[in-house]
Structure 1
Amino acid sequence: MGLRTLVIIISLTFYTTPNIAQSITDSNAVNLTKYKKIYHNVITTRAFFTNTSNTLKVKDRKSNQSFNLEPNKQDRIGLSLAFRSFNVSYSFAPDFISENKDNRNSKLFNLNLRTFSGQHLMQTFHLFNQKGFYIKNNEVNQYFPETKNFKIGGTTSYIFNENFSFKAISSQDEKQLKSTASFIPNITYYYSKFHLKDNSAFNNLDSSYYSLDIAFAPSYYYNYVPSKNLFLSVGISAGIGLNHSKSRGEDHLTTLLTELSFRGSANYDINNLYCGLHYSYLSLNHNADSGSQVIDNIPFFNIFVGYRFKAPKKFIKTAESINEMLKLKS
């Protein structure tokens, strides 16, 4: 495929953080409570490797036969830089990674964003735009280069325990100091469009499928701090909701939706140097039409190494001016 830029993301996400007046020590970290601390006036850099995709499993409810719709996957490496509400990330799919050597004109664009409001409310956003899919089962393994899948959605979450730090899991601009857990209810919603197309000499396929999911999914997370430098986290959620879907040639259908997700993280830091990994898996299960069941899977794996360093005074002054203009606390 050659070196190709897949993602250039510049996101500005503003949220209110506590007003910090005391002196800053320990690499510009300030304890919010005895359970967590925040890294303030610090630039966070990170190099990362990511593998993610959106795969569909279609199952005939009468015959119990099934097949998988798997994208021609790509592994990406990249760099990111973050300071307060400003985050820049760049990643690409290099040919020297074995997974990327036979992309066969496939495309993958994936965007993941997370924002926080206060100590409790968390919002995540996901977007997948994929082209090039394999149709696989025990008898078939055929590639459809023109087949496309688009998915957009996210999750709104409420973190009950103020001592629990989700930022220690997701962005490392906070640190969990003592082990604690939290109940986190979630509302998950996704819109998906799948277009199966093949105009080869052997096939003339042109079929579309639309789907809207919404579910309420209570979750439980536990952050475990076995030592000063090691941090482990695990979370699981199970939910129920509704799916509204439409296939070409079929009537609109509204059916029961079930959701199951898992997330595990590990992080190790020595002063300003840190490294870690994340793994998550989301599965949405529902009926697609009068005779088919769809299992919609989103796996995500990320491994990273990063470094925090004190921001120059000019950065800090500019950030404070922006916060003042937008009437945000520093």
Structure 2
Amino acid sequence: MSQKRRHFEMNWFPKHLLLYVFLISVNFYGQNATQKDSTSIVSFADKIIIKANLSTQTDTYILRTDNTVDLKVEPNNNYKLFLSLDYQFIGISLGFAPNFITDNQDDNLKGKSSFSDLQFRMFLGNWVQGIYYNKIKGYYIKNTHDFVDDWIKGEDPYIQIPNLKNVTWGMSTAYVFNPKFSYRNLVYQTEWQKKSAGSFVPILYYNYNNSGFTFLGSESEEKSFNIRLATNYYYTLVIKENWFISPYVSPSLGVRFVNDKSIINDIKSTEYKTLITRQLEGGLQLGFSSKRIIFGGSYNFSANWYNEDKNSNTENDRIYGILYFGYRFDTPKFIENSYNWLTNKF
């Protein structure tokens, strides 16, 4: 089983190297922070920005073959909540599936699923560098009715694969070509776009994924390294200064290097594959920005697919929404003084 987003494993990074990169970033950011057009973009890097995102994005996978019924698998996480904090050139966010939302509570029918997501990002002039960790465990077969004749929706439990899991480590590197366009206004809300502008924002994703499960006496483990280049284009139309509408489109092409191990009927097998991945994303965002308050929402679609072999392919087609709300706080003096000490020293 594969997942849309894969992330490169970071275990080999020594701690002192991460510290070195951090200090270099402080110096780089300090030298480049003033290069943007201040009449088009207002920066709130000196504020602490706290934001909450509510997403309906789910990881549904469809295995299509020539000879059998499609297999549709997804986790029991209809809603995900992301809490983020940004200050100066760095940001961090934590995602989870809250149990207090009713649609995340039907474990008796779909089984229990867990979701955790951790993201770290750095803004270096026109560059945006991200590091990601994602883990999902517990899936169910969405089209159980295709496999159980007398199955009744809403009464009978779905076929469940509780120990199916996906663990992902990865990175992304983005570059914003137009200095009059604020990518941070759209994605992280750490800036305020004051004038309409658009830009190409190519993003290189490179990640490592480990997924596996045991089911009805069979075992499977798949390890893959994935690299994908997305050629994004964004445009922000500013309406009466505070409001904006922003469409985007993102076609991408990538490569997956797969090591697939399985045990079926006590027969072990190992297969190495190189697969071409294709993906198309897009959406429309409506938002509000002011000196303190930020909020908005977006409507998005995502379609990605790759051929497993001549007779089967895996697809992941989704339409989902995101709502967000945030507030820009004045930075406490001890944090501001610590940051200024770092920039002056390094």
Shorter-chain TM band = 0.7 to 0.9
Q: Does 163-172 or 85-94 show the bigger shift?
A: 85-94
**1:129 counterpart = 2:142:** no
* C-alpha separation in 1, matches of 2:171 and 2:191: 23
1:279-304 per-residue CA deviation (whole Å, 9 max, x = no partner) reads 55544321234642122467775322
TM, length-normalised to structure 2: 0.75
* C-alpha separation in 2, matches of 1:126 and 1:274: 24
* C-alpha separation in 2, matches of 1:304 and 1:320: 30
1:1-330 superposed matches below 5 A: 14=25, 16-17=28-29, 32-60=37-65, 62-63=66-67, 65-73=69-77, 75-77=79-81, 79-85=83-89, 87=91, 89=93, 93-103=97-107, 104-119=111-126, 121-137=127-143, 139-140=146-147, 141-198=158-215, 203-247=216-260, 248=262, 249=269, 251-289=271-309, 291-296=311-316, 301-325=321-345, 327=346
What's the counterpart of residue 8 of structure 1? Answer: none
* C-alpha separation in 2, matches of 1:193 and 1:215: 17
1:195 CA displacement: 1.2
* C-alpha separation in 2, matches of 1:191 and 1:283: 20
1:111-143 per-residue CA deviation (whole Å, 9 max, x = no partner) reads 233322112x22233332111101233514411
1:36-95 per-residue CA deviation (whole Å, 9 max, x = no partner) reads 1112432223344344443322111x3374211201215344654433246565665443
**Residue 209 to residue 222, structure 1, CA distance change in 2 (3 Å):** same
* C-alpha separation in 1, matches of 2:142 and 2:83: 34
**Structure 2 spans left out of the alignment, 5+ residues:** 1-17, 148-157, 263-268
**Structure 1 spans left out of the alignment, 5+ residues:** 1-10, 23-29
**Residue 262 to residue 270, structure 1, CA distance change in 2 (3 Å):** same
**Residue 211 to residue 89, structure 1, CA distance change in 2 (3 Å):** closer
TM, length-normalised to structure 1: 0.78
* C-alpha separation in 2, matches of 1:21 and 1:255: 40
**Residue 51 to residue 114, structure 1, CA distance change in 2 (3 Å):** farther
* C-alpha separation in 2, matches of 1:32 and 1:323: 22
**Residue 18 to residue 235, structure 1, CA distance change in 2 (3 Å):** farther
**Residue 134 to residue 92, structure 1, CA distance change in 2 (3 Å):** closer
1:209-251 per-residue CA deviation (whole Å, 9 max, x = no partner) reads 3333223332211111122110222211112232222333353
**Residue 276 to residue 190, structure 1, CA distance change in 2 (3 Å):** same
2:140–2:160: 8 Å Cα contact kept in structure 1?
A: yes
1:262–1:281: 8 Å Cα contact kept in structure 2?
A: yes
**Residue 206 to residue 311, structure 1, CA distance change in 2 (3 Å):** same
**Residue 145 to residue 86, structure 1, CA distance change in 2 (3 Å):** same
* C-alpha separation in 2, matches of 1:37 and 1:158: 19
* C-alpha separation in 1, matches of 2:194 and 2:42: 7
2:304–2:315: 8 Å Cα contact kept in structure 1?
A: yes
**Residue 154 to residue 66, structure 1, CA distance change in 2 (3 Å):** farther
1:246–1:289: 8 Å Cα contact kept in structure 2?
A: no
* C-alpha separation in 1, matches of 2:55 and 2:78: 9
What count of residue pairs does the alignment treat as equivalent? Answer: 303
* C-alpha separation in 2, matches of 1:184 and 1:267: 20
Supply the RMSD in Å over aligned alpha carbons: 3.2
**Residue 69 to residue 87, structure 1, CA distance change in 2 (3 Å):** same
